[in-house]
Amino acid sequence: MAAESPIGTRIKRARERKRMSQAELADALGVSRSAVNAWENDRAFPQSSIGALEDILGISLDTPWAPRDSSDEKIAALGARIAGILQEAEPDGEEVLAIARRMRAEREEREREREREAAAERSRREKHA
């Protein structure tokens, strides 16, 4: 396999293809502009933002981990569909930001649901202990 560009270069190129500034991408991901700059210059890796980053930019950073459950798979599939639509339509930055915000809200809601389920399970175990 031919050597790939560093992840930072791939992130920067994809962001520029979407005509987004670092600040717009940072806002969509809920991170600082300096974090995006650090990723693009390979000074840091976007570990906690990798899924949203791939979805927003419509790229794959070849992450070795798989989705945690079927709802994650559904979100990943939705992200892939959105990425395809975005590539065809070439929307402006505001459209991309709106989609990213909705996706972030859905992920946060899933995480809250997981936390509620874990708390309920702990409560059930305590009652039976």
- The reply to whether the predicted model has a pTM over 0.85 is no
Q: Is 14 within 8 Å of 58 (Cβ atoms)?
A: yes
Environment class of residue 11 by beta-carbon count within 10 Å: exposed (0-12), middle (13-18) or buried (19+)? buried
In angstroms, the CA 118 to CA 84 distance is 35
> CATH code for 7-128?
1.10.260
Q: Tokens 């809601």 identify what position? A: 109
Q: Which residue has the higher pLDDT, 97 or 20?
A: 20
The pLDDT, as a whole number, for residue 25 is 93
Q: Is the pLDDT of residue 74 over 80?
A: no
The pLDDT, as a whole number, for residue 22 is 94
The pLDDT, as a whole number, for residue 126 is 83
Nearest to 40 by CA among 66, 94, 64, 32: 32
